[in-house]
Amino acid sequence: MNTNLAMRYSLAGLGLMLCGSQHCQAMNFNIPTSASIESAQMGGASMAFAQSSMIASDNPAGMANLGNRLDGGLQMFFGSFRSSFGNEENRDDFKVQVPIPSGGFSHVLDERTTLGMSVYSIGSGSDYSHAAVRGQGFPDVKTRMTYLIFAPTLAYKVTADFAVGVSTLIGVQQLQARGLVAPQPDGSLGLSPTHGIQTQTGYGWRVGALWTINPLLSVGASYSPKMRFADADGYENDLLAVAGGHLDLPAQYGAGIALHLTPTLTLAADYLRLEWSDVGFLNDPKGAGLNSQNVYRVGFSWDAANSITLRAGFKRASEAVDSDHTAANYYSPGILNDSVSAGFTYHLPEQTDVSLGYEYHLPDTLRGTGPSTGSNIGAHYSQVLLGVGMKF
């Protein structure tokens, strides 16, 4: 595959979502397994088993069962990548370390009503020390696509066993694309315009339900439509023109079950659907060509002692990136779909919990086919999970 043809397939696809030293996240494509540290230790399973006030990122109804608490989390991402672009000899190897923060609180107003807030981040970015196509005088690549989401939440217990919840999603998005190379009308390669860092706001909502059927069984479900963001100044005329000038977050919906096998042992499982193929720009078949994902999350939580809770889990997702679109996703290597995780929470006196865990994503290499022949993506990453929760 020649460089000219490779760039035609890579331009619309994502010089924007490079995974580098700014914000690279582990992945249902570019969404973390879970914003909650405790749930991330369980492969993300949380729809029917809320453990922290970051729960509105999955199921806002879970806020009804948390009591008064305050939570903070940090997922430290470590990634290494070994890929080729256009041909097997044009290689690029790099490593990244990125902190991913999250947090939240819940406050019980009365026996039926709880107010809360979940805060979490999504996105990716890069700051390379070289140009996308070297030796032609192009500037170094620097890109950013990050989202910070605030989810104020109201949860209400319709009965003692059945709760509903609704979150308003308020997002702040930052976009930057510098050093992207595009084919010109005469067939030569030229620099795509850059418009600096542009900040946009977006709005959405999420609803959920949680039903404790009996002491042994709970079920939960949630839905949120596509989250729409404002047009990005300047980029709406070139990079994002195919999407009407804006870059949104996908609709998602899912359901889960929790089996409380004993008073100290819970097994939980979720199904989650992420509609990437409905997001303009990301779904462009001549660019990134992302597929929607089916995500399966399974985990357990065991209170091994009064002061220790142990957890472990597994996540599997279908492929968002296929082999025909490796060139377009070369700088956004969100190709790892399976992960295992484990961790624990130490319950200190004074109603304070300290959590530590680890998530390991099974490494893989996606080799390009068809128009992406010669562009291969290899990825290996993991996360250290740190969290603190306080009950009051």
Q: Which residues contact 68 (CB under 8 A, 6 or more apart)?
A: 106, 107, 108, 391, 392
Give the C-alpha separation, 41 to 52, whole Å. Answer: 12
Give the C-alpha separation, 116 to 266, whole Å. Answer: 24
Of 58-62, 85-89, 299-303, least confident by mean pLDDT is 85-89
Q: What is the per-residue pLDDT across 29-52, written as a single tens digit (0 to 9) for each?
A: 457 789 999 999 999 999 999 999
**Tokens, residue 357:** 């865990």
41: closest CA among 308, 287, 345, 248? 345
Domain around 219: 3-391
End-to-end CA distance of the chain: 61
| DSSP bridge partners of 265 | 262, 302
**Tokens, residue 144:** 């950013």
DSSP state of 5: H
Neighbouring CB atoms inside 10 A of 183's CB total 15
| DSSP bridge partners of 303 | 309
Q: Which residues contact 360 (CB under 8 A, 6 or more apart)?
A: 339, 340, 341, 382
Determine the pLDDT at residue 187.
Answer: 63
21: closest CA among 134, 137, 141, 178? 141
Determine the pLDDT at residue 374.
Answer: 87
Collapsing DSSP states into helix, strand and coil, what is residue 109? coil
Of 39-53, 91-105, 143-157, 340-354, least confident by mean pLDDT is 91-105
Q: How many domains does the chain have?
A: 1
116 Rama class: left (phi>0) / alpha (psi -120 to 50) / beta: beta
Determine the pLDDT at residue 133.
Answer: 64
Instruction: Indicate which CATH number applies to the domain containing 366.
Output: 2.40.160.60
Determine the pLDDT at residue 285.
Answer: 85
Q: What is the per-residue pLDDT across 246-294, written as a single tens digit (0 to 9) for each?
A: 889 999 999 999 999 999 999 999 999 999 999 988 888 877 888 999 9
203-231 mean pLDDT: 97
Collapsing DSSP states into helix, strand and coil, what is residue 30? coil
